[in-house]
Each structure stands twice: as structure tokens, then as C-alpha cells.
């Protein structure tokens, strides 16, 4: 009878194969000048992330969120200066759960207002509307591409409940000013940190300023689990609301809690949880919210744990990549500006943004870059009020600067995988081919 291979031997063979034959999605590791596209981002993975996912899938107890997800939640929150984390299946889901949980916990009413920039990624705004709240827009300024903080106070009313900050490509606005403004009017400072994990202001994590915040683990982002997101806070009962909304609206989920029996089941499942109901109640199926099913998979948690161990390297590399890419373009292109970083900011860049003097320059420059296999991106949706699904939310002409973003602004990568071969190629392209 043929001896069966032990699972550990199989995993070892797989690891060797992956090292020698890198999967196509690890495209960033093998840049060849003139042949490979300079991608603006991509997963900063190697065989370690792949093996973590495979091992979890083959040997793990859970397919959906389990031990690895719970470990990642705790470690991620702690790493970025928060007490509690709730992992979900995407950054957009994180925003949805974030606003739903805040509304429930603080008792906000339908029609209450959240101040937000009209420029950026749509799900920062859609989640406000989907939760019955009203987005109130403040136009941006070109120096940082963030909303103009000097125009916020005039938009505050008795219905204002929060200011939703989304640091542009990781670069924060004046956080001290925003914190003081929120304290003055007793409103909440909320963070969409999908582009900005790792960013600090005045030596502190942005989490020190927010009552709660979201993040994304899409392949282009600082940490990638393929897809995924996280909601974080320092308020334990608020975290429970996040968990409820992410897990069908359920009242209880006891994994990791003090109520667990030695067998792993909740010891209070069949207590009487509903007053006035005398039947047998299973607390696992008591629903206190109209929630969603936004669970991640456990293999995503295992990848996240590996990614988190690399974050110092990712942070360092992104900052260096942004500096090099920016310096090359500003050296060769007239009429081009970078984006200002405030004195107190220590930005972990998602991308390298540029502001062109006019649409003609942007069109010419973007075409030039794409023709030479250097990937570009608009600053996401520009003014979201331009788009059919959002046009009903406000008057487009009230935001003149935001309306010009798609005409003047684009960004390149600040990817952690960029190396000297990439920088040399970009420099060579401009030196040999660009004409002002």
C-alpha cells in the first residue's frame, strides 16, 4: 500500500512551487523595463500570504470568519491605535457598518446631517444616504485636495451629527482644527481611512481623533486581503453595534467572550433574552438590528495577519515611492504641481497626486503616461454630483473647485513594490520622450 503524504509535506511542496512559479497576480515582483506596465498599485504579497491562505483553507476549522479573523481584528486595531476592530468583506461594507452603528449607538434620527467632501470615492457618501442621513457637502481646496476646513463651520446646523473625513490618497486635513470644531458643537469626527491607514498627524494615529473609522483591504490598498475591510473604535458598546450590523443584525455573537463554555458554545444561549416572551429563546438568533451579512472569510484573516507583519516595510516603501515619482515628474513637466502635506502630517501615501494647470496639460500628460505603460488614475469619481446616481443630492454648481478635479487632477502609484528599475524607467521615458 502506497504511503500517503502528510499534509505538512504537501504544503511544503506547494510553497516550493509558488516560489519558483509565481502566480500571475504577483505581477509586481517581476518588472521588466519596456515590457511590463508600471501599475499604480497591487498586492504586496509573496508566497507567505499565499501559503497562509492555503493552509487556512486546508487545515482550518472555519471557512468563513473564524480564529484568524478574530486574531487579525485585535492585532490590526491595536497596531493602529484602537481598542476594537470588526472585520467585514470590503471597505465599502466597512463604511456601511460604520455609519449604521454610529446612528444606532448615538440615537441619530433620519434626516440628521453628516458633513462630507463631494469629491472622492462614492461609498463615503452613499453609506450616509443608505442609513437615512443627509450628506452636507463642503467644497475642496487644491492645496491638499481635502475639503476646505475654513468652510465647514458655516455648514453646521442643529441637525449636524458628524464630520466624515476621508484623507485624500492618505493625506489628512488639519485634524486639530476639525477636532476643536467637533468639540465646540458636540458633534462626532468620523474617519474613512480606506486610503490612509498608517498616516499620523502630530505624531498620533488618526484613530486618536476619530470616534470610529473604516479601512479597506482591496488589492490596491496599503494592506490587502484580496477584498475586505475593518471598522475600528475605542468604545466597546459601539463595537457591538458594528458586529451586529455585520452579522445579520444578531444581538449576540460569543466567540472570544467570557460566556463561552469549554466546548466553545455560548453558556447563555437559552436564557430568557426577550422580556414578555416566555418561550425558549436562543440568543444566537435574537435580532436587535436590521443588519447585513458582511462576513469575511477566515483565509482573509490569515492573509491580513501576514500583511500586518510587513506594514512597517509597506509604510516606508510607499513614502519613498511617492517622493521619487513626484520628483521625476515635477522635474520634467512645466505647469504641474504636487499636493501639499501639512506640517504636522506624516502621510502613508496611497498614490502620488498631481494638479495640472489646465485640462490640456492633464490630457496630454495622461495620454503620454498611458502610451508608455505607466498607469494613471483620476482622483476617483471627482465630484460625485456629476454622476447619475448622485445628482439628486445637491446642486453641482455649488462646488466649483470640486467640478474641476476631473479636468486637472490625476495620480500615479506610490506602490510599495516599486524599485530602482521602475524609477529608472519612468525617468528615462520623460528624459527621452517628453516635450513641454
pLDDT tens profile 95-132: 999 999 999 999 999 999 999 999 999 999 999 999 99
What pLDDT, on a 0 to 100 scale, did the predictor assign at position 65? 87
- The answer to whether residues 54 and 14 touch, using CB atoms and an 8 Å cutoff, is yes
The predicted model gives 129-142 an average pLDDT of 97
pLDDT digits (tens, 9 = 90+) for 205-240: 999 999 999 999 999 999 999 999 999 999 999 999
Answer whether residue 260 shows pLDDT above 80: no
- Give CA–CA dist 204/360, Å, rounded: 40
Cα 345–Cα 316–Cα 171 angle in degrees, nearest 5: 30
pLDDT digits (tens, 9 = 90+) for 321-356: 999 999 999 999 999 999 999 999 999 999 999 999
Mean pLDDT of the chain: 92
The predicted model gives 250-277 an average pLDDT of 68
What pLDDT, on a 0 to 100 scale, did the predictor assign at position 263? 65
Nearest to 247 by CA among 95, 67, 64, 103: 64
Q: What is the pTM for the complete model shown?
A: 0.93
The predicted model gives 16-40 an average pLDDT of 81
Q: Which of 65-79, 265-279, 417-431 has the lowest mean pLDDT?
A: 265-279
What pLDDT, on a 0 to 100 scale, did the predictor assign at position 257? 52
- Give CA–CA dist 253/92, Å, rounded: 23
All domains of the chain, ordered by start, with CATH? 57-308 (3.40.640.10), 311-433 (3.90.1150.10)
Please, which residues bridge with residue 242 across strands?
none
All residues at 6 or more sequence positions from 244 whose CB lies less than 8 Å from its CB, including other chains: 101, 250, 251, 288, 289, 291
Nearest to 19 by CA among 48, 58, 56, 54: 48
Supply φ then ψ for residue 218, to 5 degrees: -60, 155
- In percent, the amount of the chain with pLDDT more than 90 equals 78
- In percent, the amount of the chain with pLDDT more than 70 equals 95
Region at 111 (left for phi over 0; alpha for psi -120 to 50; beta for the rest):
left
Amino acid at each position: 500500500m502506497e504511503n500517503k503524504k502528510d499534509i505538512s509535506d504537501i504544503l511544503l511542496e506547494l510553497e516550493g512551487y509558488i516560489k519558483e512559479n509565481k502566480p500571475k497576480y504577483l505581477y509586481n515582483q517581476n518588472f521588466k523595463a519596456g515590457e511590463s506596465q508600471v501599475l499604480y498599485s497591487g498586492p504586496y504579497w509573496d508566497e507567505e500570504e499565499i501559503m497562509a491562505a492555503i493552509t487556512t483553507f486546508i487545515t482550518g476549522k472555519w471557512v468563513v470568519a473564524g480564529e484568524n479573523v478574530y486574531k487579525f481584528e485585535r492585532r490590526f486595531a491595536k497596531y493602529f491605535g484602537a481598542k476594537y476592530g470588526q472585520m467585514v468583506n470590503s471597505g465599502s461594507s466597512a463604511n456601511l457598518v460604520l455609519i449604521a452603528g454610529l446612528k444606532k449607538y448615538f440615537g441619530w434620527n433620519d434626516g440628521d446631517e453628516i458633513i462630507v467632501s463631494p469629491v472622492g470615492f462614492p461609498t463615503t457618501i452613499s453609506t450616509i444616504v443608505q442609513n437615512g442621513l443627509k450628506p452636507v457637502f463642503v467644497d475642496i481646496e487644491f492645496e491638499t485636495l481635502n475639503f476646505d476646513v475654513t468652510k465647514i463651520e458655516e455648514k453646521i446646523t442643529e441637525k449636524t451629527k458628524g464630520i466624515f473625513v476621508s484623507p485624500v490618497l492618505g493625506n489628512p486635513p488639519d485634524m486639530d482644527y476639525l477636532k476643536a470644531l467637533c468639540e465646540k458643537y458636540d458633534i462626532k469626527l468620523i474617519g474613512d481611512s480606506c486610503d490612509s491607514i498608517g498616516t499620523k498627524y502630530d505624531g498620533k494615529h488618526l484613530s486618536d481623533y476619530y470616534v470610529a473609522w473604516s479601512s479597506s483591504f482591496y488589492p490596491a490598498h496599503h494592506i490587502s486581503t484580496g477584498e475586505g475591510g475593518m471598522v475600528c473604535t475605542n468604545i466597546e458598546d459601539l463595537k457591538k453595534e458594528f458586529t451586529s450590523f455585520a452579522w445579520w443584525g444578531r444581538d449576540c455573537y460569543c466567540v472570544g467572550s467570557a460566556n463561552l463554555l469549554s466546548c466553545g458554545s455560548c453558556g447563555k444561549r437559552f436564557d430568557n433574552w426577550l422580556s414578555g416572551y416566555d418561550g425558549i429563546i436562543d440568543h444566537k438568533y435574537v435580532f436587535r438590528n436590521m443588519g447585513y451579512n458582511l462576513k469575511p472569510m477566515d483565509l482573509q484573516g490569515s492573509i491580513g495577519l501576514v500583511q500586518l507583519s510587513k506594514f512597517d516595510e509597506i509604510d516606508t516603501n510607499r513614502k519613498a515611492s511617492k517622493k521619487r515619482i513626484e520628483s521625476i515628474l515635477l522635474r520634467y513637466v512645466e505647469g504641474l504641481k504636487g499636493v501639499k502635506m501639512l506640517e504636522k502630517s506624516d502621510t502613508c501615501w496611497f498614490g502620488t497626486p498631481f494638479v495640472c494647470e489646465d485640462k490640456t496639460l492633464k490630457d496630454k500628460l495622461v495620454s503620454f503616461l498611458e502610451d508608455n505603460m505607466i498607469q494613471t488614475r483620476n482622483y476617483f469619481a471627482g465630484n460625485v454630483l456629476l454622476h447619475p446616481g448622485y445628482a439628486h443630492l445637491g446642486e453641482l454648481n455649488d462646488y466649483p473647485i470640486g467640478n474641476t478635479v476631473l479636468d486637472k487632477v490625476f495620480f500615479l502609484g506610490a506602490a510599495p513594490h516599486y524599485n530602482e528599475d521602475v524609477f529608472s524607467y519612468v525617468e528615462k521615458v520623460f528624459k527621452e520622450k517628453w516635450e513641454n
